[in-house]
Structure 1
Amino acid sequence: MMVSTQSRVNGGLSQQLQNGYLAAAVSFGSGLVILIVLVACVPRGRRGLVKLRREVAAGAYPVWGLLGGTCGAFFVLTQGLVATVLGVALFTVGIVAGQVSGGLVIDRVGLGPGGRIAPTTTRLIGTGLAIVAVAVSVSDRILGGDGGSVWLIVIPVVAGIGMAWQSAVNGLVRVAAQSAITATFVNFLVGTVVLAIAAAVSIAVQGWPTGWPSEPWFYIGGLAGVVFIALATILVRTAGVLLLSMSNVAGQLVGSVVFEVWVPLADGVTIPLLSGVGLALVAVVIAALPARPSAAGATDRA
Protein backbone atom coordinates (compact mmCIF):
# COMPACT_ATOMS: atom_id res chain seq x y z
CA MET A 1 0.00 0.00 0.00
CA MET A 2 3.05 2.23 0.32
CA VAL A 3 3.32 2.24 -3.49
CA SER A 4 -0.22 3.54 -4.02
CA THR A 5 0.46 6.14 -1.32
CA GLN A 6 3.59 7.17 -3.18
CA SER A 7 1.67 7.34 -6.48
CA ARG A 8 -0.96 9.64 -4.96
CA VAL A 9 1.62 11.86 -3.25
CA ASN A 10 3.89 12.19 -6.28
CA GLY A 11 0.95 12.71 -8.61
CA GLY A 12 -0.34 15.48 -6.37
CA LEU A 13 3.10 17.09 -6.09
CA SER A 14 3.42 16.99 -9.88
CA GLN A 15 0.09 18.79 -10.22
CA GLN A 16 1.15 21.43 -7.70
CA LEU A 17 4.53 22.07 -9.32
CA GLN A 18 3.33 21.56 -12.91
CA ASN A 19 6.53 19.57 -13.42
CA GLY A 20 6.51 15.77 -13.16
CA TYR A 21 10.28 15.52 -13.58
CA LEU A 22 10.99 17.77 -10.62
CA ALA A 23 8.36 16.02 -8.48
CA ALA A 24 10.01 12.66 -9.20
CA ALA A 25 13.47 14.03 -8.36
CA VAL A 26 12.19 15.46 -5.06
CA SER A 27 10.62 12.10 -4.15
CA PHE A 28 13.69 10.02 -4.95
CA GLY A 29 16.07 12.64 -3.54
CA SER A 30 14.28 12.76 -0.17
CA GLY A 31 14.49 8.98 0.00
CA LEU A 32 18.21 9.17 -0.69
CA VAL A 33 18.69 11.64 2.18
CA ILE A 34 16.96 9.20 4.55
CA LEU A 35 19.21 6.37 3.37
CA ILE A 36 22.40 8.43 3.69
CA VAL A 37 21.52 8.94 7.35
CA LEU A 38 20.73 5.23 7.81
CA VAL A 39 23.97 4.09 6.16
CA ALA A 40 25.97 6.54 8.28
CA CYS A 41 24.31 5.31 11.49
CA VAL A 42 24.19 1.56 10.83
CA PRO A 43 27.56 -0.25 10.72
CA ARG A 44 26.11 -3.11 8.64
CA GLY A 45 25.15 -0.63 5.93
CA ARG A 46 28.67 0.80 5.78
CA ARG A 47 30.23 -2.67 5.71
CA GLY A 48 27.81 -3.60 2.93
CA LEU A 49 29.05 -0.71 0.76
CA VAL A 50 32.66 -1.79 1.26
CA LYS A 51 31.83 -5.41 0.46
CA LEU A 52 29.81 -4.47 -2.62
CA ARG A 53 32.61 -2.26 -3.94
CA ARG A 54 35.07 -5.14 -3.55
CA GLU A 55 32.70 -7.56 -5.29
CA VAL A 56 32.29 -5.21 -8.27
CA ALA A 57 36.02 -4.40 -8.45
CA ALA A 58 36.90 -8.10 -8.45
CA GLY A 59 34.38 -8.83 -11.21
CA ALA A 60 32.37 -11.08 -8.92
CA TYR A 61 29.30 -8.85 -9.28
CA PRO A 62 28.26 -7.25 -12.61
CA VAL A 63 27.98 -3.47 -12.92
CA TRP A 64 24.58 -3.77 -14.63
CA GLY A 65 23.32 -5.33 -11.40
CA LEU A 66 23.63 -1.92 -9.74
CA LEU A 67 21.15 -0.27 -12.07
CA GLY A 68 17.86 -1.34 -10.49
CA GLY A 69 17.30 2.27 -9.50
CA THR A 70 16.84 3.28 -13.14
CA CYS A 71 13.58 1.33 -13.24
CA GLY A 72 12.57 2.85 -9.93
CA ALA A 73 13.27 6.29 -11.36
CA PHE A 74 11.09 5.55 -14.40
CA PHE A 75 8.28 4.30 -12.17
CA VAL A 76 8.34 7.40 -9.95
CA LEU A 77 8.48 9.60 -13.05
CA THR A 78 5.37 7.94 -14.49
CA GLN A 79 3.57 8.58 -11.20
CA GLY A 80 3.94 12.31 -11.77
CA LEU A 81 3.33 12.32 -15.52
CA VAL A 82 0.72 9.60 -16.08
CA ALA A 83 -1.11 8.93 -12.80
CA THR A 84 -2.46 12.48 -12.90
CA VAL A 85 -4.23 11.66 -16.18
CA LEU A 86 -5.29 8.05 -15.58
CA GLY A 87 -5.99 8.30 -11.84
CA VAL A 88 -4.26 6.25 -9.15
CA ALA A 89 -6.48 3.16 -9.49
CA LEU A 90 -6.25 2.79 -13.28
CA PHE A 91 -2.56 3.59 -13.15
CA THR A 92 -2.15 0.84 -10.54
CA VAL A 93 -4.01 -1.73 -12.64
CA GLY A 94 -1.48 -1.06 -15.42
CA ILE A 95 1.36 -1.50 -12.94
CA VAL A 96 -0.20 -4.80 -11.85
CA ALA A 97 -0.24 -6.22 -15.37
CA GLY A 98 3.39 -5.24 -15.85
CA GLN A 99 4.57 -6.59 -12.51
CA VAL A 100 2.93 -10.00 -12.76
CA SER A 101 3.93 -10.61 -16.37
CA GLY A 102 7.45 -9.32 -15.75
CA GLY A 103 7.75 -11.35 -12.55
CA LEU A 104 6.67 -14.50 -14.38
CA VAL A 105 9.38 -14.11 -17.02
CA ILE A 106 12.11 -13.04 -14.57
CA ASP A 107 11.42 -16.02 -12.30
CA ARG A 108 11.53 -18.36 -15.31
CA VAL A 109 14.82 -16.91 -16.52
CA GLY A 110 16.26 -17.07 -13.01
CA LEU A 111 17.42 -13.48 -12.70
CA GLY A 112 16.35 -13.12 -9.07
CA PRO A 113 18.34 -14.33 -6.06
CA GLY A 114 15.99 -17.30 -5.62
CA GLY A 115 17.12 -18.83 -8.92
CA ARG A 116 14.93 -20.24 -11.68
CA ILE A 117 11.28 -20.81 -10.76
CA ALA A 118 9.20 -22.58 -13.39
CA PRO A 119 5.73 -21.09 -14.06
CA THR A 120 2.84 -23.07 -12.60
CA THR A 121 -0.64 -23.28 -14.07
CA THR A 122 -2.02 -21.01 -11.36
CA ARG A 123 0.64 -18.39 -12.03
CA LEU A 124 -0.05 -18.44 -15.76
CA ILE A 125 -3.79 -18.06 -15.15
CA GLY A 126 -3.20 -15.25 -12.67
CA THR A 127 -0.97 -13.41 -15.10
CA GLY A 128 -3.54 -13.74 -17.88
CA LEU A 129 -6.30 -12.42 -15.62
CA ALA A 130 -4.18 -9.42 -14.63
CA ILE A 131 -3.81 -8.48 -18.29
CA VAL A 132 -7.55 -8.92 -18.84
CA ALA A 133 -8.14 -6.63 -15.84
CA VAL A 134 -6.41 -3.81 -17.71
CA ALA A 135 -8.76 -4.20 -20.66
CA VAL A 136 -11.82 -4.23 -18.39
CA SER A 137 -10.62 -1.14 -16.50
CA VAL A 138 -10.26 0.97 -19.65
CA SER A 139 -13.34 -0.38 -21.44
CA ASP A 140 -15.53 2.58 -20.50
CA ARG A 141 -12.99 5.04 -21.88
CA ILE A 142 -12.76 3.13 -25.15
CA LEU A 143 -16.56 2.87 -25.51
CA GLY A 144 -16.89 6.52 -24.52
CA GLY A 145 -14.59 7.62 -27.31
CA ASP A 146 -11.76 8.69 -24.99
CA GLY A 147 -9.23 6.47 -26.76
CA GLY A 148 -6.45 9.04 -26.67
CA SER A 149 -5.70 8.69 -22.96
CA VAL A 150 -6.29 4.92 -22.98
CA TRP A 151 -2.96 4.32 -24.69
CA LEU A 152 -1.23 5.91 -21.70
CA ILE A 153 -1.95 2.66 -19.85
CA VAL A 154 0.98 1.14 -21.77
CA ILE A 155 3.37 3.36 -19.77
CA PRO A 156 2.50 1.98 -16.30
CA VAL A 157 2.53 -1.54 -17.76
CA VAL A 158 6.13 -0.99 -18.87
CA ALA A 159 6.91 0.61 -15.49
CA GLY A 160 5.45 -2.46 -13.75
CA ILE A 161 7.74 -4.77 -15.74
CA GLY A 162 10.62 -2.54 -14.67
CA MET A 163 9.54 -2.82 -11.02
CA ALA A 164 9.70 -6.61 -11.23
CA TRP A 165 13.22 -6.37 -12.68
CA GLN A 166 14.14 -3.82 -10.01
CA SER A 167 13.07 -6.17 -7.20
CA ALA A 168 15.15 -8.99 -8.68
CA VAL A 169 18.27 -6.87 -9.15
CA ASN A 170 18.01 -5.24 -5.73
CA GLY A 171 17.72 -8.72 -4.23
CA LEU A 172 20.99 -9.65 -5.95
CA VAL A 173 22.65 -6.51 -4.55
CA ARG A 174 21.46 -7.45 -1.07
CA VAL A 175 23.01 -10.89 -1.39
CA ALA A 176 26.31 -9.44 -2.65
CA ALA A 177 26.45 -6.72 0.03
CA GLN A 178 24.78 -8.81 2.75
CA SER A 179 22.80 -5.72 3.69
CA ALA A 180 19.28 -4.60 2.73
CA ILE A 181 20.16 -1.01 3.69
CA THR A 182 23.08 -1.02 1.25
CA ALA A 183 20.93 -2.43 -1.56
CA THR A 184 18.23 0.17 -0.95
CA PHE A 185 20.83 2.96 -0.81
CA VAL A 186 22.34 1.93 -4.16
CA ASN A 187 18.85 1.83 -5.70
CA PHE A 188 18.04 5.36 -4.55
CA LEU A 189 21.47 6.73 -5.44
CA VAL A 190 21.21 5.55 -9.05
CA GLY A 191 17.59 6.65 -9.38
CA THR A 192 18.27 10.09 -7.91
CA VAL A 193 21.12 10.73 -10.35
CA VAL A 194 18.91 9.80 -13.32
CA LEU A 195 16.00 11.93 -12.13
CA ALA A 196 18.19 14.90 -11.16
CA ILE A 197 19.50 15.06 -14.73
CA ALA A 198 15.95 14.82 -16.14
CA ALA A 199 14.71 17.51 -13.72
CA ALA A 200 17.61 19.83 -14.58
CA VAL A 201 16.78 19.59 -18.29
CA SER A 202 13.09 20.18 -17.55
CA ILE A 203 13.81 23.26 -15.41
CA ALA A 204 16.09 24.64 -18.10
CA VAL A 205 13.17 24.41 -20.55
CA GLN A 206 10.19 25.28 -18.32
CA GLY A 207 11.82 27.36 -15.61
CA TRP A 208 11.64 26.99 -11.81
CA PRO A 209 8.16 26.45 -10.26
CA THR A 210 6.50 29.62 -9.04
CA GLY A 211 5.46 28.04 -5.74
CA TRP A 212 5.79 24.90 -3.62
CA PRO A 213 2.95 23.28 -1.63
CA SER A 214 3.10 23.87 2.13
CA GLU A 215 1.35 20.63 3.13
CA PRO A 216 3.98 18.18 4.47
CA TRP A 217 2.28 15.09 3.04
CA PHE A 218 3.34 16.13 -0.47
CA TYR A 219 6.91 15.25 0.50
CA ILE A 220 6.53 11.76 2.01
CA GLY A 221 6.90 9.96 -1.34
CA GLY A 222 10.58 9.28 -0.67
CA LEU A 223 9.85 7.74 2.74
CA ALA A 224 7.16 5.48 1.26
CA GLY A 225 9.60 4.41 -1.45
CA VAL A 226 12.33 3.60 1.09
CA VAL A 227 9.97 1.35 3.08
CA PHE A 228 8.73 -0.41 -0.07
CA ILE A 229 12.15 -1.00 -1.63
CA ALA A 230 13.68 -2.20 1.65
CA LEU A 231 10.91 -4.72 2.26
CA ALA A 232 10.97 -5.94 -1.35
CA THR A 233 14.75 -6.35 -1.20
CA ILE A 234 14.49 -8.47 1.94
CA LEU A 235 11.57 -10.65 0.79
CA VAL A 236 12.42 -11.31 -2.86
CA ARG A 237 14.94 -14.07 -2.09
CA THR A 238 12.41 -16.32 -0.35
CA ALA A 239 9.19 -15.26 -2.08
CA GLY A 240 10.42 -15.09 -5.67
CA VAL A 241 9.86 -12.15 -7.99
CA LEU A 242 6.36 -13.12 -9.15
CA LEU A 243 4.93 -13.96 -5.70
CA LEU A 244 6.45 -10.76 -4.29
CA SER A 245 4.88 -8.81 -7.15
CA MET A 246 1.53 -10.50 -6.43
CA SER A 247 1.53 -9.42 -2.78
CA ASN A 248 2.74 -5.95 -3.71
CA VAL A 249 -0.03 -5.34 -6.19
CA ALA A 250 -2.74 -6.58 -3.82
CA GLY A 251 -1.85 -3.74 -1.47
CA GLN A 252 -1.49 -1.30 -4.34
CA LEU A 253 -4.95 -2.11 -5.70
CA VAL A 254 -6.71 -1.73 -2.36
CA GLY A 255 -4.86 1.47 -1.54
CA SER A 256 -5.44 2.98 -4.98
CA VAL A 257 -9.21 2.51 -4.79
CA VAL A 258 -9.27 4.17 -1.36
CA PHE A 259 -7.40 7.16 -2.80
CA GLU A 260 -9.66 7.38 -5.84
CA VAL A 261 -12.72 7.43 -3.56
CA TRP A 262 -11.45 10.06 -1.11
CA VAL A 263 -8.83 12.13 -2.95
CA PRO A 264 -9.04 11.31 -6.70
CA LEU A 265 -6.42 12.49 -9.17
CA ALA A 266 -8.54 11.97 -12.27
CA ASP A 267 -12.08 10.64 -12.86
CA GLY A 268 -12.56 8.84 -9.55
CA VAL A 269 -14.10 5.36 -9.26
CA THR A 270 -16.20 3.89 -12.08
CA ILE A 271 -17.92 0.50 -12.43
CA PRO A 272 -15.43 -0.77 -15.09
CA LEU A 273 -12.54 0.41 -12.91
CA LEU A 274 -13.88 -1.41 -9.84
CA SER A 275 -14.46 -4.50 -11.99
CA GLY A 276 -10.88 -4.34 -13.26
CA VAL A 277 -9.50 -3.90 -9.75
CA GLY A 278 -11.57 -6.84 -8.51
CA LEU A 279 -10.39 -9.02 -11.38
CA ALA A 280 -6.78 -8.03 -10.70
CA LEU A 281 -7.19 -9.04 -7.03
CA VAL A 282 -8.57 -12.41 -8.14
CA ALA A 283 -5.51 -12.74 -10.38
CA VAL A 284 -3.27 -12.10 -7.39
CA VAL A 285 -5.00 -14.78 -5.30
CA ILE A 286 -4.88 -17.38 -8.08
CA ALA A 287 -1.23 -16.72 -8.92
CA ALA A 288 -0.28 -16.97 -5.24
CA LEU A 289 -1.98 -20.35 -4.73
CA PRO A 290 0.53 -23.08 -3.87
CA ALA A 291 1.00 -25.76 -6.47
CA ARG A 292 2.65 -29.15 -6.35
CA PRO A 293 6.10 -28.68 -7.95
CA SER A 294 6.70 -30.64 -11.10
CA ALA A 295 9.87 -32.55 -11.84
CA ALA A 296 10.89 -29.77 -14.24
CA GLY A 297 10.24 -27.12 -11.57
CA ALA A 298 12.31 -29.03 -9.04
CA THR A 299 15.15 -29.25 -11.55
CA ASP A 300 14.94 -25.51 -12.25
CA ARG A 301 15.14 -24.68 -8.53
CA ALA A 302 18.08 -27.00 -8.10
Structure 2
Amino acid sequence: MMRIAVAGGGGLGYLLATQLSQAANAYNVVVLSRLARPEFAQLDVQLHVVDYHDLASLTFALQGVDLVISTISGQEQLNLINVAARGRVRTFVPSEFEGSLSRRPSHNDPLDRGSSQAIDLLKRWAQQSRMKYTIFSCGVFMERFHPCGLGYLNIGIGSGISSAGEYLVDVNSATAEYAERDSKGRTVRICLSSVYDVVRFLVAAIDLGTEKWPSEFTMRGDRMTLRELVDTCSFVRNVVFDRQTRSFADLQAYLHHYAQIGDISRVAYYQRLLATANGRYDFSRATLNEAMERSDLVDMPPLKLSQWLMNMWQSM
Protein backbone atom coordinates (compact mmCIF):
# COMPACT_ATOMS: atom_id res chain seq x y z
CA MET A 1 0.00 0.00 0.00
CA MET A 2 1.40 3.39 -0.99
CA ARG A 3 2.11 5.69 1.94
CA ILE A 4 1.49 9.37 1.12
CA ALA A 5 2.45 12.36 3.26
CA VAL A 6 0.60 15.66 2.80
CA ALA A 7 2.63 18.55 4.23
CA GLY A 8 0.32 21.22 5.58
CA GLY A 9 -2.95 20.61 7.36
CA GLY A 10 -4.92 23.68 6.34
CA GLY A 11 -6.54 24.79 3.10
CA LEU A 12 -5.22 22.81 0.16
CA GLY A 13 -3.60 20.24 2.45
CA TYR A 14 -6.93 19.46 4.09
CA LEU A 15 -8.67 19.07 0.71
CA LEU A 16 -5.93 16.74 -0.53
CA ALA A 17 -5.98 14.61 2.61
CA THR A 18 -9.77 14.37 2.46
CA GLN A 19 -9.80 13.29 -1.19
CA LEU A 20 -6.96 10.79 -0.72
CA SER A 21 -8.61 9.22 2.33
CA GLN A 22 -11.78 8.67 0.27
CA ALA A 23 -10.04 7.45 -2.90
CA ALA A 24 -11.06 4.15 -4.48
CA ASN A 25 -7.50 2.87 -4.07
CA ALA A 26 -6.47 2.31 -0.49
CA TYR A 27 -3.72 4.76 0.48
CA ASN A 28 -2.02 5.16 3.82
CA VAL A 29 -2.25 8.94 4.33
CA VAL A 30 -0.11 10.92 6.75
CA VAL A 31 -0.70 14.64 7.35
CA LEU A 32 2.19 16.77 8.59
CA SER A 33 0.99 19.81 10.50
CA ARG A 34 2.55 22.45 12.72
CA LEU A 35 -0.54 22.30 14.94
CA ALA A 36 -2.90 19.68 16.31
CA ARG A 37 -5.98 19.63 14.07
CA PRO A 38 -9.06 17.91 15.49
CA GLU A 39 -10.87 18.13 12.12
CA PHE A 40 -8.73 15.25 10.86
CA ALA A 41 -10.17 12.89 13.47
CA GLN A 42 -13.12 12.18 11.16
CA LEU A 43 -10.82 11.14 8.32
CA ASP A 44 -8.94 7.89 7.89
CA VAL A 45 -5.54 9.58 8.12
CA GLN A 46 -2.65 9.85 10.57
CA LEU A 47 -1.71 13.29 11.85
CA HIS A 48 1.89 14.09 12.80
CA VAL A 49 2.53 17.41 14.55
CA VAL A 50 5.96 18.41 13.27
CA ASP A 51 8.51 21.18 13.53
CA TYR A 52 9.75 21.73 9.98
CA HIS A 53 13.00 23.08 11.36
CA ASP A 54 13.61 19.92 13.40
CA LEU A 55 15.10 17.45 10.91
CA ALA A 56 14.84 14.54 13.34
CA SER A 57 11.12 15.23 13.73
CA LEU A 58 10.67 15.28 9.95
CA THR A 59 12.73 12.12 9.48
CA PHE A 60 10.50 10.26 11.93
CA ALA A 61 7.30 11.55 10.30
CA LEU A 62 8.45 10.48 6.82
CA GLN A 63 9.32 6.91 7.77
CA GLY A 64 7.95 4.56 5.11
CA VAL A 65 6.56 7.41 2.98
CA ASP A 66 6.61 6.87 -0.80
CA LEU A 67 5.12 10.18 -1.99
CA VAL A 68 5.18 13.66 -0.45
CA ILE A 69 2.73 16.37 -1.53
CA SER A 70 3.74 19.76 -0.17
CA THR A 71 1.48 22.75 0.43
CA ILE A 72 4.12 24.68 2.40
CA SER A 73 6.87 26.97 1.14
CA GLY A 74 10.11 28.70 2.07
CA GLN A 75 12.77 27.15 4.27
CA GLU A 76 10.26 24.70 5.72
CA GLN A 77 9.70 23.13 2.29
CA LEU A 78 13.46 23.08 1.62
CA ASN A 79 14.00 21.16 4.86
CA LEU A 80 11.23 18.76 3.88
CA ILE A 81 12.80 18.16 0.45
CA ASN A 82 16.20 17.38 1.98
CA VAL A 83 14.80 14.93 4.52
CA ALA A 84 12.57 13.26 1.91
CA ALA A 85 15.47 12.76 -0.51
CA ARG A 86 17.66 11.23 2.20
CA GLY A 87 14.87 8.79 3.11
CA ARG A 88 12.91 6.33 0.97
CA VAL A 89 10.58 8.91 -0.64
CA ARG A 90 10.33 8.19 -4.37
CA THR A 91 8.35 11.23 -5.57
CA PHE A 92 7.97 14.80 -4.30
CA VAL A 93 5.23 17.22 -5.38
CA PRO A 94 6.25 20.78 -4.39
CA SER A 95 3.90 23.62 -3.55
CA GLU A 96 3.99 25.02 -7.10
CA PHE A 97 0.45 24.83 -8.41
CA GLU A 98 -0.29 28.15 -10.12
CA GLY A 99 1.56 28.94 -13.33
CA SER A 100 3.65 26.85 -15.71
CA LEU A 101 7.40 26.68 -15.12
CA SER A 102 8.20 27.52 -18.73
CA ARG A 103 6.46 30.89 -18.43
CA ARG A 104 8.23 32.09 -15.29
CA PRO A 105 11.17 34.53 -15.44
CA SER A 106 14.54 32.77 -15.32
CA HIS A 107 15.85 35.34 -12.81
CA ASN A 108 14.63 38.27 -10.68
CA ASP A 109 11.10 36.88 -10.42
CA PRO A 110 9.15 39.18 -8.05
CA LEU A 111 6.56 36.45 -7.43
CA ASP A 112 9.12 33.76 -6.67
CA ARG A 113 8.65 33.40 -2.88
CA GLY A 114 11.35 30.70 -2.77
CA SER A 115 10.01 28.69 -5.73
CA SER A 116 13.20 28.70 -7.80
CA GLN A 117 15.26 27.62 -4.80
CA ALA A 118 12.94 24.68 -4.14
CA ILE A 119 12.93 23.60 -7.79
CA ASP A 120 16.73 23.86 -8.05
CA LEU A 121 17.04 21.71 -4.93
CA LEU A 122 14.65 19.10 -6.35
CA LYS A 123 16.65 18.99 -9.60
CA ARG A 124 19.88 18.40 -7.68
CA TRP A 125 18.35 15.60 -5.62
CA ALA A 126 16.86 14.02 -8.77
CA GLN A 127 20.43 13.68 -10.07
CA GLN A 128 21.89 12.44 -6.78
CA SER A 129 19.15 10.18 -5.41
CA ARG A 130 16.22 8.07 -6.55
CA MET A 131 13.69 10.77 -5.60
CA LYS A 132 11.90 12.28 -8.60
CA TYR A 133 9.66 15.32 -8.54
CA THR A 134 6.56 16.45 -10.42
CA ILE A 135 5.02 19.91 -10.50
CA PHE A 136 1.26 20.25 -11.07
CA SER A 137 0.64 23.55 -12.88
CA CYS A 138 -2.97 24.63 -13.16
CA GLY A 139 -2.92 28.27 -14.25
CA VAL A 140 -4.89 30.42 -11.79
CA PHE A 141 -7.24 29.06 -9.15
CA MET A 142 -10.82 30.03 -10.04
CA GLU A 143 -11.40 30.53 -6.32
CA ARG A 144 -9.41 33.78 -6.60
CA PHE A 145 -12.69 35.20 -7.98
CA HIS A 146 -14.84 34.04 -5.08
CA PRO A 147 -16.60 36.91 -3.24
CA CYS A 148 -14.58 35.99 -0.15
CA GLY A 149 -11.37 35.40 -2.12
CA LEU A 150 -9.08 32.40 -1.74
CA GLY A 151 -8.98 33.09 1.99
CA TYR A 152 -12.25 31.23 2.51
CA LEU A 153 -10.27 28.06 1.75
CA ASN A 154 -7.32 29.26 3.85
CA ILE A 155 -5.20 29.57 0.70
CA GLY A 156 -3.07 32.44 -0.58
CA ILE A 157 -2.72 34.30 2.70
CA GLY A 158 1.08 34.40 2.57
CA SER A 159 1.16 35.55 -1.06
CA GLY A 160 -1.29 38.44 -0.76
CA ILE A 161 -4.06 36.94 -2.90
CA SER A 162 -6.42 35.68 -0.21
CA SER A 163 -9.01 38.49 -0.35
CA ALA A 164 -11.48 39.43 -3.08
CA GLY A 165 -10.32 42.09 -5.53
CA GLU A 166 -6.61 41.41 -5.12
CA TYR A 167 -6.29 40.07 -8.65
CA LEU A 168 -7.83 41.15 -11.98
CA VAL A 169 -11.50 41.07 -10.98
CA ASP A 170 -13.52 42.05 -7.91
CA VAL A 171 -16.84 40.26 -8.29
CA ASN A 172 -18.28 42.08 -5.28
CA SER A 173 -17.82 45.60 -6.69
CA ALA A 174 -18.12 44.47 -10.34
CA THR A 175 -14.77 46.00 -11.27
CA ALA A 176 -11.79 44.72 -13.27
CA GLU A 177 -8.32 45.97 -14.14
CA TYR A 178 -6.09 44.26 -16.69
CA ALA A 179 -4.01 44.60 -19.85
CA GLU A 180 -5.61 43.03 -22.90
CA ARG A 181 -2.31 42.83 -24.79
CA ASP A 182 1.25 42.03 -23.86
CA SER A 183 4.35 44.12 -24.57
CA LYS A 184 4.41 42.84 -28.18
CA GLY A 185 0.74 43.54 -28.83
CA ARG A 186 -0.43 39.94 -28.54
CA THR A 187 -3.73 39.06 -26.86
CA VAL A 188 -3.28 37.97 -23.24
CA ARG A 189 -4.81 34.62 -22.29
CA ILE A 190 -5.09 32.82 -19.00
CA CYS A 191 -5.65 29.22 -17.88
CA LEU A 192 -7.91 28.56 -14.90
CA SER A 193 -8.73 25.59 -12.67
CA SER A 194 -10.89 25.09 -9.62
CA VAL A 195 -8.95 24.06 -6.51
CA TYR A 196 -11.29 21.09 -6.18
CA ASP A 197 -10.54 19.91 -9.72
CA VAL A 198 -6.80 20.24 -9.12
CA VAL A 199 -7.15 18.00 -6.06
CA ARG A 200 -9.36 15.55 -7.95
CA PHE A 201 -6.96 15.31 -10.90
CA LEU A 202 -3.90 15.01 -8.65
CA VAL A 203 -5.46 12.05 -6.84
CA ALA A 204 -6.40 10.49 -10.19
CA ALA A 205 -2.80 10.96 -11.35
CA ILE A 206 -1.65 9.00 -8.30
CA ASP A 207 -4.04 6.21 -9.31
CA LEU A 208 -2.44 6.33 -12.76
CA GLY A 209 0.94 5.52 -11.20
CA THR A 210 3.65 7.93 -10.10
CA GLU A 211 6.29 6.04 -12.07
CA LYS A 212 4.74 7.47 -15.25
CA TRP A 213 4.82 11.08 -14.10
CA PRO A 214 6.83 13.70 -16.02
CA SER A 215 8.65 16.52 -14.21
CA GLU A 216 5.64 18.77 -14.86
CA PHE A 217 1.95 18.15 -15.48
CA THR A 218 -0.20 21.00 -16.80
CA MET A 219 -3.95 21.02 -16.27
CA ARG A 220 -6.81 23.45 -16.71
CA GLY A 221 -10.55 23.75 -16.59
CA ASP A 222 -10.64 26.71 -18.94
CA ARG A 223 -8.50 28.94 -21.14
CA MET A 224 -9.65 32.38 -22.27
CA THR A 225 -8.67 35.97 -22.94
CA LEU A 226 -8.93 38.44 -20.08
CA ARG A 227 -11.79 40.19 -21.86
CA GLU A 228 -13.64 36.86 -22.04
CA LEU A 229 -12.95 36.29 -18.35
CA VAL A 230 -14.58 39.60 -17.39
CA ASP A 231 -17.42 39.01 -19.87
CA THR A 232 -18.10 35.66 -18.17
CA CYS A 233 -18.16 37.25 -14.70
CA SER A 234 -20.46 39.99 -15.98
CA PHE A 235 -22.84 37.50 -17.61
CA VAL A 236 -23.13 35.24 -14.56
CA ARG A 237 -23.63 38.18 -12.20
CA ASN A 238 -25.91 39.95 -14.71
CA VAL A 239 -24.06 43.18 -13.92
CA VAL A 240 -22.07 45.49 -16.18
CA PHE A 241 -18.48 45.54 -14.91
CA ASP A 242 -16.45 48.74 -14.67
CA ARG A 243 -13.34 47.82 -16.69
CA GLN A 244 -10.02 49.59 -16.37
CA THR A 245 -8.19 48.26 -19.42
CA ARG A 246 -4.52 49.21 -19.27
CA SER A 247 -1.68 49.05 -21.72
CA PHE A 248 1.37 47.02 -20.76
CA ALA A 249 3.26 50.31 -20.33
CA ASP A 250 0.52 51.59 -18.01
CA LEU A 251 1.00 48.63 -15.69
CA GLN A 252 4.75 49.23 -15.63
CA ALA A 253 4.18 52.92 -14.82
CA TYR A 254 1.79 52.11 -11.97
CA LEU A 255 4.26 49.59 -10.59
CA HIS A 256 7.07 52.15 -10.70
CA HIS A 257 4.88 54.80 -9.02
CA TYR A 258 3.84 52.61 -6.11
CA ALA A 259 7.40 51.34 -5.67
CA GLN A 260 8.59 54.94 -5.35
CA ILE A 261 6.07 55.79 -2.64
CA GLY A 262 6.63 52.48 -0.82
CA ASP A 263 3.11 51.03 -1.18
CA ILE A 264 4.08 47.36 -0.98
CA SER A 265 0.58 45.94 -1.45
CA ARG A 266 -0.03 47.93 -4.64
CA VAL A 267 3.40 46.98 -5.94
CA ALA A 268 2.51 43.31 -5.47
CA TYR A 269 -0.88 43.90 -7.11
CA TYR A 270 0.66 45.31 -10.28
CA GLN A 271 3.39 42.69 -10.29
CA ARG A 272 0.64 40.07 -10.53
CA LEU A 273 -1.08 41.94 -13.38
CA LEU A 274 2.22 42.30 -15.25
CA ALA A 275 3.02 38.61 -14.74
CA THR A 276 -0.39 37.75 -16.21
CA ALA A 277 0.23 40.04 -19.20
CA ASN A 278 3.58 38.32 -19.68
CA GLY A 279 1.79 34.95 -20.03
CA ARG A 280 2.76 33.44 -16.69
CA TYR A 281 -0.59 31.67 -16.30
CA ASP A 282 -1.09 30.55 -19.89
CA PHE A 283 -0.09 27.33 -21.64
CA SER A 284 -1.37 25.81 -24.86
CA ARG A 285 -1.18 22.13 -23.87
CA ALA A 286 -2.76 20.54 -20.79
CA THR A 287 -0.83 17.29 -20.37
CA LEU A 288 -2.68 16.06 -17.28
CA ASN A 289 -6.05 16.60 -18.99
CA GLU A 290 -4.74 14.52 -21.89
CA ALA A 291 -3.57 11.75 -19.55
CA MET A 292 -6.95 11.65 -17.81
CA GLU A 293 -8.79 11.53 -21.15
CA ARG A 294 -6.77 8.44 -22.09
CA SER A 295 -7.70 6.76 -18.80
CA ASP A 296 -11.04 6.10 -17.11
CA LEU A 297 -9.96 7.55 -13.76
CA VAL A 298 -11.87 10.86 -13.97
CA ASP A 299 -15.60 10.55 -14.53
CA MET A 300 -16.21 14.27 -15.08
CA PRO A 301 -14.13 16.90 -16.90
CA PRO A 302 -12.90 19.92 -14.91
CA LEU A 303 -15.26 22.86 -14.56
CA LYS A 304 -15.32 25.72 -17.02
CA LEU A 305 -15.22 29.18 -15.42
CA SER A 306 -18.88 29.84 -16.29
CA GLN A 307 -19.95 26.60 -14.58
CA TRP A 308 -17.84 27.33 -11.53
CA LEU A 309 -19.21 30.88 -11.22
CA MET A 310 -22.82 29.72 -11.57
CA ASN A 311 -22.32 27.00 -8.97
CA MET A 312 -20.68 29.48 -6.64
CA TRP A 313 -23.39 32.14 -6.92
CA GLN A 314 -26.20 29.60 -6.56
CA SER A 315 -24.66 28.29 -3.32
CA MET A 316 -24.45 31.71 -1.68
| TM-score by shorter chain over 0.5 | no
Choose between structure 1 and 2 for higher RCO, CA contacts under 8 A separated by at least 6 residues. Answer: 1
Q: TM-score with structure 2 length normalisation?
A: 0.27
Q: Which has more helix, going by share of residues? A: 1
